[in-house]
Amino acid sequence: MSVDASALEEARARLRDGASTRIAVIGASDDPEKYGNIIVLDLKRRGYQVLPVNLKGGTIAGLPAYRSIAEVPKPVHIVDVVTPPAVTREILAEVAAAGLPLVWLQDGSFDDSVLERAGAAPFKTVAHACIMVVARSVANEVRSTG
């Protein structure tokens, strides 16, 4: 569909919905030094419904981890991807098959090939922006307009 500013605005609107927003984090990790863990913890702390996805399953940050996006209970409003580009290419096909509306590609999860595939996919795509930074900005906006 698109990798553009409208995708970021749609994502920001979803983040403004707060606790009703369901975010799958693909590449979630229980290693506290990895962004897959840092992002899960940050979004959880901000009150979002976080759905970690990790091939090993188990639990991450006290949350059940799903082995694939297909296992994640719907609805999912945002799919945040924290995987290397080679893995991300496969994930894009899984997200499209699941009919999910919005993918957020964290820095390091994409290259030109991933962006090209995302641009041709049926979902909107955010790239070149960090979900934690945008979520903080949205929280500040909500507080100031409260």
| CATH number attached to the domain at 2-145 | 3.40.50.720
Per-residue confidence of the chain (146 residues) as pLDDT tens digits?
456 789 999 999 999 999 999 999 999 999 999 999 999 999 999 999 999 999 999 999 999 999 999 999 999 999 999 999 999 999 999 999 999 999 999 999 999 999 999 999 999 999 999 999 999 999 998 777 75
Four-CA torsion 111, 72, 126, 19, nearest 10 degrees: -150
- Residue 107 CB coordination number (10 Å): 11
